[in-house]
């Protein structure tokens, strides 16, 4: 009754307008206080329900921008080209890689003797067409099932099935391609091969001493795929179409891989990167061209690291194999590699040899003949991007105290230990610690819990500007792997990434990346696009991202609001759904839309 009486008096005295104004003022003050508190943080925990929704539809032709977005921060979406599918490429269009499928440049080459036709030849300008989907394309088989089987329609390449049918590489079964774990040198299966290496050479200590491996001419990457069980991460690589779509198979399986060739140019890796390099019948003539190809392996192999060569010259006695073996003996002795084990596996009928790279330059300096010579460090570029192969030996690094090179700590300790190469760069050790803490907190507080990303569907991840590898380190316990990309226009941190036991590669985002279409589930970047947009056409970069990401996959971008709004405009014109979070994070999700095609959800 008291409450009822009070309400009557309130209506009589007509105080409702005053109360209404008071409550509005209270809400406004609360909003200002919250906004000010948010502005003082690098990031804050995100509640997805409060996210700014840009466009949840993949079917609308309209570009819907939130009314809080300033018009002068946006691209003029109406002036974007009308999107078209890539044409004139025949059946190749679904697998088009601009810098590797530039047929005009390839036809104009004066020579193909050194695999020049497999190297990068980027078109100018970069294409703005979109890649069609293969007929019957489906959401990929999830990991870990994908290691053993993938949808045939996603990578419909039957030639390798027929060509390698006697070697148990891959078999077609119904709607699937199945990978039994066989290979040219894996006659007892890849797991048996891996265990045999451990028994023959216990010092390998898979997943402790040996963490990062390069597999040359990797086939369908079963070696790297099964080493994941040992906490070993393997960068599998091969040229495009040397065996039909082998790298595409690897990435569809969820195994780290990239397209590359040792031809006339250096591989896009730093010096002294890999703990081990593996070649099982990889079809590379290591003694050719004055030994430049093996010297390139020597460049990227860590001091004290190992090279496993499983090939017929190791264990056969026909005249051709004898010639190759003799040349290999002379070359490995000239570059101071020592044989630590040579063996033959009776049951499989194959053999291998394990070489070790020296840990100091003393052997180089004490050779009877200075051939190949030591590189002149004053005239040698540190970059391996489009750089010609060396015909010399790179001097080996020393520790910060001037001692012999020190091997990284055992995995997993090496992930968070300060890399030795940091001590040679001024004022970086504190930055490294801060970076590690920053990414651990950001991933935990925001990325994994506060964004509209289904992480259970994410297997293949690319960090487009990886820095010290902090993002990759922070998600190391999830069932995914990260390709850490270090842009050539920024600070060179790739050696640090490898020292931490992670993998990565150099790249220039003004050009297309060496991968097949639809090979990554998530692309990540942090304040990449500001500087990049000064050098490149932003639309062309986003088109390349659209080429790389699988339907149903994501981009996760941290950047300024003006830049996020520009990216939103382009992504929406491609019928991606886009959400913004806390005015610094953009999550884009790719659908199945293609121009002149029915939208599939």
- Sequential DSSP letters for 467-519: TTTHHHHHTTTSS-EEEEEEETTS---HHHHHHTT--EEEE-TTS--SS-SS-
Question: How far is Cα 528 from Cα 509, in angstroms, rounded to an integer?
Answer: 10
Question: What pLDDT does residue 400 have?
Answer: 61
Q: Looking at the structure, tell me whether residues 473 and 544 fall in a common domain.
A: yes
> 349, 379, 409: which is the final residue of a domain?
379
Evaluate whether 517 touches 95 at the Cβ level (below 8 Å).
yes
- Per the domain annotation, does 455 fall within a domain? yes
Helix (H, G, I), strand (E, B) or coil at 551: strand
Domain hosting 574: range is 53-73+427-589
- Per the domain annotation, does 155 fall within a domain? no
Give the contacts of 364 (CB within 8 A, at least 6 positions apart): 336, 358, 374, 393, 395, 396
Evaluate whether 183 touches 190 at the Cβ level (below 8 Å).
yes
Q: Looking at the structure, tell me whether residues 236 and 371 fall in a common domain.
A: yes
Give the contacts of 29 (CB within 8 A, at least 6 positions apart): none
Among the residues of 14-74, which ranges form H helices? 16-39
Total domains in the fold of the chain: 2
Helix (H, G, I), strand (E, B) or coil at 353: strand
Question: What pLDDT does residue 481 have?
Answer: 99
Encoded tokens for 123: 């078109």
Question: What pLDDT does residue 9 have?
Answer: 47
Q: Looking at the structure, tell me whether residues 352 and 471 fall in a common domain.
A: no
Closest CA to 260 of 568, 433, 503, 445: 503
Question: What pLDDT does residue 301 have?
Answer: 98
- Per the domain annotation, does 580 fall within a domain? yes
Encoded tokens for 440: 């651990």
CATH number of the domain that residue 585 is part of: 3.40.50.150
Question: How far is Cα 16 from Cα 582, in angstroms, rounded to an integer?
Answer: 35
> 321, 353, 379: which is the final residue of a domain?
379
Q: Looking at the structure, tell me whether residues 437 and 570 fall in a common domain.
A: yes
Question: What pLDDT does residue 601 have?
Answer: 34
Whats the size of the chain, residue-wise?
601
Name the phi and psi angles at 553, rounded to 5.
-90, 180
**Most distant CA pair in the chain, distance:** 112
- Per the domain annotation, does 504 fall within a domain? yes
Encoded tokens for 39: 């502005």
- Per the domain annotation, does 143 fall within a domain? no
- Per the domain annotation, does 248 fall within a domain? yes
Question: How far is Cα 229 from Cα 221, in angstroms, rounded to an integer?
Answer: 14
Q: Looking at the structure, tell me whether residues 218 and 352 fall in a common domain.
A: yes
Question: What pLDDT does residue 422 have?
Answer: 84
Q: Looking at the structure, tell me whether residues 375 and 478 fall in a common domain.
A: no
Helix (H, G, I), strand (E, B) or coil at 236: strand
Q: Looking at the structure, tell me whether residues 298 and 196 fall in a common domain.
A: yes
Contacts of the segment 105-110: beta carbons below 8 A, 24+ positions apart: none
Name the phi and psi angles at 538, rounded to 5.
-60, -35
Q: Looking at the structure, tell me whether residues 199 and 265 fall in a common domain.
A: yes
- Per the domain annotation, does 232 fall within a domain? yes
Question: How far is Cα 369 from Cα 213, in angstroms, rounded to an integer?
Answer: 31
- Per the domain annotation, does 168 fall within a domain? no
> 320, 353, 379: which is the final residue of a domain?
379
Give the contacts of 316 (CB within 8 A, at least 6 positions apart): none
Kindly give the parts of the chain with pLDDT less than 50.
Answer: 1-16, 18, 29, 31-74, 598-601
Q: Looking at the structure, tell me whether residues 209 and 63 fall in a common domain.
A: no
Q: Looking at the structure, tell me whether residues 205 and 352 fall in a common domain.
A: yes
Question: What pLDDT does residue 369 have?
Answer: 94
Q: Looking at the structure, tell me whether residues 229 and 334 fall in a common domain.
A: yes
Which DSSP letter does residue 372 get?
Answer: S
Helix (H, G, I), strand (E, B) or coil at 349: coil
Name the phi and psi angles at 340, rounded to 5.
-100, -20
Q: Looking at the structure, tell me whether residues 341 and 283 fall in a common domain.
A: yes
Question: What pLDDT does residue 557 have?
Answer: 99
């Amino acid at each position: 009754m008291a409450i009822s009486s009070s309400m009557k008096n309130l209506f009589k005295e007509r105080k409702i307008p005053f109360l209404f104004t008071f409550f509005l003022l209270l809400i406004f003050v609360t909003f200002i206080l919250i906004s000010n508190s948010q502005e003082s943080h690098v990031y804050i925990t995100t509640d997805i329900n409060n996210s700014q929704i840009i466009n949840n539809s993949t079917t609308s032709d309209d570009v819907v921008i939130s009314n809080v977005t300033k018009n002068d921060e946006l691209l003029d979406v109406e002036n974007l080209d009308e999107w078209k599918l890539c044409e004139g490429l025949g059946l190749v269009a679904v697998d088009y890689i601009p810098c590797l499928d530039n047929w005009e440049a390839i036809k104009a080459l004066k020579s193909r003797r050194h695999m020049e036709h497999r190297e990068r030849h980027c078109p100018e300008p970069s294409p703005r067409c979109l890649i069609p989907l293969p007929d019957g394309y489906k959401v990929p088989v999830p990991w870990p099932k994908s290691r053993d089987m993938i949808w045939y329609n996603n990578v419909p390449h039957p030639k390798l099935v027929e060509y390698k049918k006697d070697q148990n590489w891959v078999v077609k079964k119904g709607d699937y391609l199945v990978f039994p774990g066989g290979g040219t040198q894996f006659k007892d299966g890849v797991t048996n091969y891996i265990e045999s290496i451990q028994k023959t050479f216990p010092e390998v200590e898979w997943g402790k001493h040996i963490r990062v491996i390069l597999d040359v001419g990797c086939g369908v990457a079963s070696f790297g795929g099964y080493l994941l069980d040992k906490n070993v991460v393997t960068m599998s690589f091969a040229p495009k179409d040397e065996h039909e779509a082998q790298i595409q198979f690897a990435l569809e399986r969820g195994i780290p891989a990239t397209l590359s060739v040792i031809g006339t140019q250096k591989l896009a890796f730093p010096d002294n990167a890999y703990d081990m390099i593996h070649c099982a019948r990889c079809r590379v003539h290591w003694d050719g061209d004055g030994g430049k190809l093996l010297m390139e392996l020597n460049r990227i192999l860590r001091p004290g690291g190992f090279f496993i060569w499983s090939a017929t010259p190791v264990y056969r006695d026909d005249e051709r194999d004898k010639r190759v073996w003799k040349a290999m003996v002379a070359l490995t002795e000239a570059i101071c590699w020592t044989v630590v084990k040579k063996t033959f596996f009776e049951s499989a009928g194959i053999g291998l040899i394990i070489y070790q790279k020296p840990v100091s330059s003393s052997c180089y300096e004490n050779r009877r003949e200075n051939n190949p010579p030591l590189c002149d460090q004053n005239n040698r570029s540190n970059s391996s991007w489009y750089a010609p192969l060396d015909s010399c030996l790179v001097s080996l690094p020393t520790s910060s105290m001037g001692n012999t090179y020190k091997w990284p700590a055992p995995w997993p300790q090496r992930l968070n230990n300060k890399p030795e190469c940091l001590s040679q760069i001024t004022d970086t050790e504190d930055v490294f610690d801060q970076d590690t803490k920053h990414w651990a907190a950001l991933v935990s507080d925001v990325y994994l819990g506060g964004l509209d990303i289904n992480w259970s569907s994410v297997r293949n991840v690319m960090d487009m500007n990886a820095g010290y590898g902090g993002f990759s380190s922070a998600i190391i316990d999830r069932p995914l792997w990260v390709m850490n990309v270090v842009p050539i226009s920024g600070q060179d941190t790739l050696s640090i990434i490898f020292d931490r036991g992670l993998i990565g590669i150099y790249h220039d985002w003004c050009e297309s990346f060496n991968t097949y279409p639809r090979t990554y589930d998530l692309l990540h970047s942090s304040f990449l696009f500001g500087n990049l947009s000064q050098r490149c056409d932003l639309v062309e970069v986003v088109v390349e991202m659209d080429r790389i990401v699988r339907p149903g996959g994501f981009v996760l971008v941290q950047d300024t609001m003006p830049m996020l709004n520009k990216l939103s405009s382009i992504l929406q014109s491609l019928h991606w759904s886009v959400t913004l979070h806390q005015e610094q994070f953009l999550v884009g999700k790719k659908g199945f839309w293609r121009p002149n095609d029915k939208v599939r959800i």
